[in-house]
């Protein structure tokens, strides 16, 4: 381990020393980055600022990033097309937003019932995840380079105006629900929509939605869901971990020097670590505040409901794989990785406390 650490430190020092001479020969590139999530949202939107703040110094001034809030330059759901066609040279979003264009895309954003963060990282960087991620965009005809840049902790399972006592309460429920989990809710009879973050609260307030999920408690707090929906459900079975992406126009990426590409890759990986650690650190205080100050009821799904969600998800996964060969390719690869990982998972980790064993005071 000490030897590996020395090698890593030497590599980083070498990269830093090389930045000066390399930068003198490199052309300067400004990445104009429209984003899908407000930078006011901790971890979700703020992560791209973390990247931007470090890119200039790490590249020796040859790479800079200008961030544009949602809708200021490109609408959130148009980011992929805009980057691919060169309308903008980069963008920050979630692959799950492209479900209608690329059926397999949500598998690189969040997968119902896992993998959790550690396993997702393992598959992404040391399995076939990252290779398949780029292959997906290449095969679909999008001219982008993808770099995972954010890793979020588990989400809540949603904010509901009324308590959900059984499967019958999902039928006809008007809910905002993301990605593959949304297909599960549709199959269970809910009316599902996918709205950008800024549009959710007004829809709840006006009664157009009965419930919503969006992200982790600290992020949801900024959107004010607790003011209207008092039942906050856990666990986030649909998003046990979430990856967000930086997309760079392929021509722009190819025009970069090897040094610039390496700087971006290193910062992206560091950002994955920082965003996950940050997300893990800021949730519990918000959960306490929701209960103590806002009258929120923290609810944990019954075994019956979790079993129903899992069963329905397995059906959805089979249906999606049958419809799209690339979805099947990615899904099978991920499942094979998880089958092997389960050996480590089963032996290595301590049991977690149950919700009724945790006191909020």
Nearest partner of 171 among 157, 183, 159, 188, judged by Cα = 188
Instruction: Report the predicted TM-score, pTM, of the whole model to 2 decimal places.
Output: 0.90
pLDDT reported for residue 1: 43
- At 132, is the secondary structure helix, strand, or coil? helix
pLDDT reported for residue 196: 84
- E-state strands within the chain: 29-34, 63-68, 90-93, 144-152, 158-160, 174-176, 191-193, 211-212, 231-234, 242-249, 297-300
**What are the extents of the domains in the chain?**
14-150+240-280
pLDDT reported for residue 276: 97
pLDDT reported for residue 260: 97
- Tell which CATH architecture fits domain 14-150+240-280: 3-Layer(aba) Sandwich (3.40)
Rg (CA), the chain: 21
- Burial class of residue 67 (count of CB atoms within 10 Å of its CB; 0-12, 13-18, 19+): buried
Nearest partner of 153 among 46, 249, 68, 43, judged by Cα = 43
With a CB cutoff of 8 Å and minimum separation 6, the contacts of 311 are: none
Q: For every one of its 361 residues, what pLDDT tens digit does the chain have, with 9 covering 90 and above?
A: 444 444 444 444 455 545 555 555 899 999 999 999 999 999 999 999 999 999 999 999 999 999 999 999 999 999 999 999 999 999 999 999 999 999 999 999 999 999 999 999 999 999 999 999 999 999 999 999 999 999 999 999 999 999 999 999 999 999 999 889 999 999 999 999 988 888 999 999 999 999 999 999 999 999 999 999 999 999 999 999 999 999 999 999 999 999 999 999 999 999 999 999 999 999 999 999 999 999 999 999 999 999 999 999 999 999 999 999 999 999 999 999 999 999 999 999 999 999 988 888 7
Percent helix, strand, coil in the chain, to 5, is 55, 15, 30
With a CB cutoff of 8 Å and minimum separation 6, the contacts of 26 are: 60, 62, 256, 257, 259, 260
C-beta of residue 240 within 8 angstroms of C-beta of residue 36: no
pLDDT reported for residue 2: 44
């Amino acid at each position: 381990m000490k030897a590996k650490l020395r090698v890593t430190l030497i590599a980083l020092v070498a990269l830093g020393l090389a930045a000066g001479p390399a930068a003198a020969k490199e052309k300067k590139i400004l990445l104009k980055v429209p984003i899908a999530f407000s930078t006011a949202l901790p971890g979700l939107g703020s992560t791209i600022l973390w990247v931007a703040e470090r890119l200039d110094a790490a590249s020796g001034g040859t790479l800079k990033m200008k961030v544009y809030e949602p809708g200021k330059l490109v609408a959130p759901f148009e980011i992929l097309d805009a980057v691919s066609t060169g309308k903008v040279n980069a963008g920050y979003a979630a692959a799950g937003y492209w479900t209608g264009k690329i059926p397999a895309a949500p598998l690189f954003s969040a997968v119902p019932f896992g993998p959790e963060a550690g396993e997702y990282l393992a598959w992404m960087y040391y399995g076939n995840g990252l290779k398949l991620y780029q292959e997906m965009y290449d095969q679909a005809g999008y001219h982008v380079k993808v770099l995972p840049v954010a890793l979020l902790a588990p989400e809540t399972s949603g904010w509901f105006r009324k308590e959900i006592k059984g499967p019958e309460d999902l039928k006809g429920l008007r809910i905002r629900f993301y990605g593959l989990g949304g297909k599960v809710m549709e199959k269970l009879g809910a009316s599902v929509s996918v709205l950008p973050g800024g549009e959710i609260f007004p829809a709840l307030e006006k009664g157009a939605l009965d419930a919503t999920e969006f992200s982790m408690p600290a992020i949801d707090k900024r959107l004010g869901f607790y003011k209207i929906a008092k039942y906050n459900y856990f666990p986030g079975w649909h998003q046990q971990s979430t990856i967000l992406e930086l997309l760079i126009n392929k021509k722009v990426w190819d025009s970069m020097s090897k040094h610039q590409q390496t700087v971006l890759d290193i910062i992206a990986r560091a950002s994955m670590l920082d965003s996950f650690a940050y997300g893990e650190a800021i949730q519990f205080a918000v959960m306490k505040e929701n209960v103590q100050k806002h009258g929120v009821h923290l609810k944990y799904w019954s075994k019956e409901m979790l079993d129903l969600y899992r069963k329905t998800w397995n059906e959805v996964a089979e249906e999606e794989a049958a419809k799209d060969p690339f979805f099947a390719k990615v899904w099978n690869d991920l499942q094979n990785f998880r089958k092997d990982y389960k050996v480590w998972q089963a032996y290595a980790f301590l049991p977690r406390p149950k919700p009724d064993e945790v006191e909020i005071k």
